[in-house]
Structure 1
Amino acid sequence: MTGFLRRYPLPVIVLAQLFGTSLWFSINGVWLSLAGTLGLAESDLGRLTLSVQAGFIAGTLTLAVTGLADRFGASRIFLVSSVLGALTNAGFVLVAGNPLVDSLFRFGTGLCLAGIYPLGMKLVIAWTPAYAGAALAWLVGMLTLGTALPHLMRGVTLGMPWEWPLLAASGLALAGGLLVFGLGDGPHLPGSRGRLPLRQGLAALRSPRFRAVAGGYFGHMWELYAFWTLVPLLIGRELARLGLSDGLLPWLSFAVIGMGAAGCIGGGYLSRTRGSAWVARLALVTSGALCLLYPWLNGLPAILLLGLLVIWGVAVVADSPQFSALAAATAPKEAVGSSLAVMNAVGFGLTLPAIWMTSGLWSEWGIWVVILLLPGPVFGVWSLARARVSA
């Protein structure tokens, strides 16, 4: 079985990434039913989403400080994280509605995701170092589909208990962990030799080019997860204007978020000829324009606004794998895992205030909260231009 898996390392890794990251927005996918059953509000959605993000940040910092990302086999960390993440995600079913305990369980899920997403990037680089931008595009594409997957699972289980999609996500995460464990570690990255892995992870910031890439990534992250959190709310608004059933909400949410996978993969192919930085700039400019224009177009027919959300869903994440490829190319080779972990930790830290503000102000501002996302793409474009990144 291991020999078979090693013939197709990239498909194995991206499929495992899809399964593992279905844990990320598992609560968001069942939110309509969960909120109705337990009497929760949009602020609770923000709280639970923030808990996952905080857990992920803590996990990536742990990887960076301890050097686990470079000292131990990536496939083993991926497996352990998948198993523990599946358990904490399933455990939410038992504690949902308790504001302290359910947040802790979602924090634990985010903590485990830190052993899935960054380690998945390292596995891709270790197995397929050529065309890293295109390969990472498939990986982030699966992250995007994994984020959207809970909405799809909720769509096919409408009328059933909200617990079922959550437990299904846990089952998928277990399967993903076993796939990567069967594949094993790739041959193209050495282990870390240093004694101060956090310092190794931060060392790449001495490079002006890496700082420019990291700045672009930070701006991208300010927008990305806040937008994904807002998608069901934005779609719900348009469904209400059309007088359509909320039963369409999970399907349309899956479509808007899931289309980001096409943006990642398409951007990956473009990166082969135009370069990763060109793709990243195009995505930032497109999503930034939508941040600015979307609320001003609120009077347009709902169908048109839903179409704009699909375009936004494609552009908002298309730059993510290109930033990862650029960062991996400029980080010290012996500390790629730690460098990516540090960059991820800071980037995901920036998602916290963005999610908190947009979800907290939704009831007062409505569609106008998307204006708060605009500084991210603006800063990202400026950062890339400042250092004249062209690769």
Structure 2
Amino acid sequence: MLHQTIAPPARILPALVFSQFAGTSLWFAGNAVLPDLQASLQMQEGALAMLTSAVQLGFIAGTLVFALLSLADRVSPRLLFMLCALLGATANALVLFTANDFHAVLLLRGLTGFLLAGVYPVGMKIAASWYSTGLGKAIGYLVGALVMGTAFPHLIRALGTSLPWQQVLVAVSVLAAFGGVLLYLLVPDGPYLKRGATFRVQNMLQAFRDRSFRSAAFGYFGHMWELYTLWAFTPLILTLTLPQLSPVEVSAYSFAVIAAGAVGCIAGGYLSQVWGSARVAFVQLLLSGLCCLLSLVVLQLNVPQLIIPFLLFWGVVVAGDSPQFSALTAQTAPPQLVGTALTLVVAIGFAITVVSIQLTGFLLTQWPLHDALALLAVGPALGLLALRRLV
């Protein structure tokens, strides 16, 4: 039967999830070894925001370039994923040889972000080529893998705290390269692989004429204002609020807080089958916005038994709505402009993270930590207003 659903082989989803996890571990590799890089380069406090923003800006540029060239349509997605994972791993490892030049490190982190545009979105495309039904749940697992990959460098740092920072970077690069090769070997192009919509600049405004699409997109933008800023500053939050923690404990708890988002992503994927994506996204965005406001009180208490569970819960809900926003933007985009619309939304979303990270980094030099973090609530508040019509 032409329309019969084809069941993917059992290995497809685990291989996709692992490869996505391995590739995206490159994202915060620089953050995990930042104390050593700061010592090597004699960097100022603003280095954290600059290194993180370099990756984000690189990802934005990569997303737009890949879309303009239609690379995922012209090249097999699995081949593109592998090449970008290998090149991203190389760019990450080259930091070893440029650690005495801050501008070179920034350039390499930006290049790593550029190549991640061939890992994260392309992994989604590969998943869509295998799952005609159950895609929402599959995306929940894939975004969960992204979250775990983002957190993983902190785990390496915690488990191998006596390791030189160079070995931590090498370990992340090896993992990313292995993930890219593994996906190429185990995941062929799926039976539902189709050409995506051609990216055309003149189509950008047309996508935003649809009210439902605007609601999904602006909800996502509010979510992105908070997400990467919290992730980027988690080690600093732990260091400032719980000064009694050792560096090993800071790395371990940073991993736990960021990785907790995988729980929210996967659980949200299952809940969306009952509640719908809009309601799941709304509830999680509401809860993460409340965490921004509660940080005004909780983070001043210096009580590990309260602060650690609070940050873990925040980690769950701050990322758990990501897969549902991906589903909502895909569902509400004009059918003939899905590729253009999703590319534009992702690019704007990551541009917003750069503004948020830089602003928060500046505010931390002027304000107490809890006041700066409370300002993150602006994003969820505006996102909730936009999302109301879809609930």
TM-score (norm 1): 0.92
Deviations 1:75-94 (A, max 9, x none): 12111111110110001111
- Out of 347, 350, 355, which is 2:349 matched to? 347
Deviations 1:235-287 (A, max 9, x none): 112331xx232221100100110111011111111111011111100111001
- The number of aligned residues is 381
- For the Cα contact (< 8 Å) 2:197–2:339, is it kept in 1? no
Superposition pairs of residues 44-63 of structure 1, within 5 angstroms? 44-63=47-66
Superposition pairs of residues 191-210 of structure 1, within 5 angstroms? 191-192=195-196, 194=198, 196-199=199-202, 203-210=206-213
Instruction: Determine if the alignment matches structure 1 residue 259 to structure 2 residue 260.
Output: yes
Structure 2 match to 1:380: 383
- For the Cα contact (< 8 Å) 1:118–1:337, is it kept in 2? no
Structure 1 match to 2:279: 278
Structure 2 match to 1:315: 317
Residues 137 and 148 (structure 1), Cα distance of their counterparts in 2 relative to 1, 3 Å cut: same
- For the Cα contact (< 8 Å) 1:221–1:350, is it kept in 2? yes
Q: Greater shift after overlay, 31-40 or 372-381?
A: 31-40
Structure 2 match to 1:357: 359
Tell me the distance in 1 between the aligned counterparts of 2:251 and 2:45. Answer: 16
Instruction: Determine if the alignment matches structure 1 residue 389 to structure 2 residue 386.
Output: no
Q: Greater shift after overlay, 333-342 or 88-97?
A: 333-342
Q: Greater shift after overlay, 197-206 or 99-108?
A: 197-206
- Out of 161, 174, 186, which is 2:190 matched to? 186
Residues 356 and 217 (structure 1), Cα distance of their counterparts in 2 relative to 1, 3 Å cut: same
- Out of 235, 244, 247, which is 1:232 matched to? 235
Instruction: Determine if the alignment matches structure 1 residue 127 to structure 2 residue 127.
Output: no
Displacement, 1:162? 0.4
Q: Greater shift after overlay, 350-359 or 65-74?
A: 65-74
Deviations 1:151-209 (A, max 9, x none): 00111111221011111111111111112222122222421475x54556765333221
Instruction: Determine if the alignment matches structure 1 residue 298 to structure 2 residue 296.
Output: no
- For the Cα contact (< 8 Å) 2:242–2:302, is it kept in 1? no
Tell me the distance in 1 between the aligned counterparts of 2:184 and 2:200. Answer: 24
Tell me the distance in 1 between the aligned counterparts of 2:17 and 2:337. Answer: 22
Tell me the distance in 2 between the aligned counterparts of 1:362 and 1:373. Answer: 13
Residues 351 and 297 (structure 1), Cα distance of their counterparts in 2 relative to 1, 3 Å cut: same
- For the Cα contact (< 8 Å) 2:15–2:182, is it kept in 1? yes
Tell me the distance in 2 between the aligned counterparts of 1:321 and 1:204. Answer: 20
Residue 101 of structure 2 aligns to a residue in which SS?
coil
Instruction: Determine if the alignment matches structure 1 residue 331 to structure 2 residue 333.
Output: yes
- Out of 164, 167, 189, which is 1:164 matched to? 167
Amino acid at match of 1:159: S
- For the Cα contact (< 8 Å) 1:133–1:268, is it kept in 2? yes
Structure 1 match to 2:3: none
Amino acid at match of 2:331: A
- For the Cα contact (< 8 Å) 1:67–1:198, is it kept in 2? no
Structure 2 match to 1:41: 44
Deviations 1:306-351 (A, max 9, x none): 2211110001000000011122223355654443222211100100
Instruction: Determine if the alignment matches structure 1 residue 9 to structure 2 residue 12.
Output: yes
Residue 128 of structure 1 aligns to a residue in which SS?
coil
Residues 193 and 300 (structure 1), Cα distance of their counterparts in 2 relative to 1, 3 Å cut: closer
Amino acid at match of 1:188: Y
Structure 1 match to 2:139: 136
Tell me the distance in 1 between the aligned counterparts of 2:248 and 2:166. Answer: 17
Higher helix share: 1
Tell me the distance in 2 between the aligned counterparts of 1:352 and 1:248. Answer: 28
Deviations 1:84-111 (A, max 9, x none): 1011000111112412111110110000
Tell me the distance in 2 between the aligned counterparts of 1:189 and 1:200. Answer: 23
- For the Cα contact (< 8 Å) 1:88–1:109, is it kept in 2? yes
Structure 1 unaligned regions, length at least 5: none
Instruction: Determine if the alignment matches structure 1 residue 105 to structure 2 residue 78.
Output: no
Q: Greater shift after overlay, 199-208 or 216-225?
A: 199-208
- For the Cα contact (< 8 Å) 2:197–2:338, is it kept in 1? no
Structure 2 match to 1:82: 85
- For the Cα contact (< 8 Å) 1:121–1:139, is it kept in 2? yes
Instruction: Determine if the alignment matches structure 1 residue 289 to structure 2 residue 290.
Output: yes
Instruction: Determine if the alignment matches structure 1 residue 248 to structure 2 residue 249.
Output: yes
Instruction: Determine if the alignment matches structure 1 residue 370 to structure 2 residue 373.
Output: yes
Amino acid at match of 1:121: M
- For the Cα contact (< 8 Å) 1:262–1:314, is it kept in 2? yes
Residue 363 of structure 1 aligns to a residue in which SS?
coil
Residues 37 and 100 (structure 1), Cα distance of their counterparts in 2 relative to 1, 3 Å cut: closer
Displacement, 1:28? 0.9
Residue 127 of structure 1 aligns to a residue in which SS?
coil
Displacement, 1:6? 4.6
Tell me the distance in 1 between the aligned counterparts of 2:382 and 2:296. Answer: 20
- For the Cα contact (< 8 Å) 2:143–2:322, is it kept in 1? yes
Tell me the distance in 2 between the aligned counterparts of 1:37 and 1:93. Answer: 11
Structure 2 match to 1:154: 157
Q: Greater shift after overlay, 270-279 or 202-211?
A: 202-211
Residue 149 of structure 1 aligns to a residue in which SS?
helix
Tell me the distance in 1 between the aligned counterparts of 2:89 and 2:201. Answer: 28
RMSD in angstroms over aligned alpha carbons? 1.9
Structure 1 match to 2:225: 222
Structure 1 match to 2:68: 65
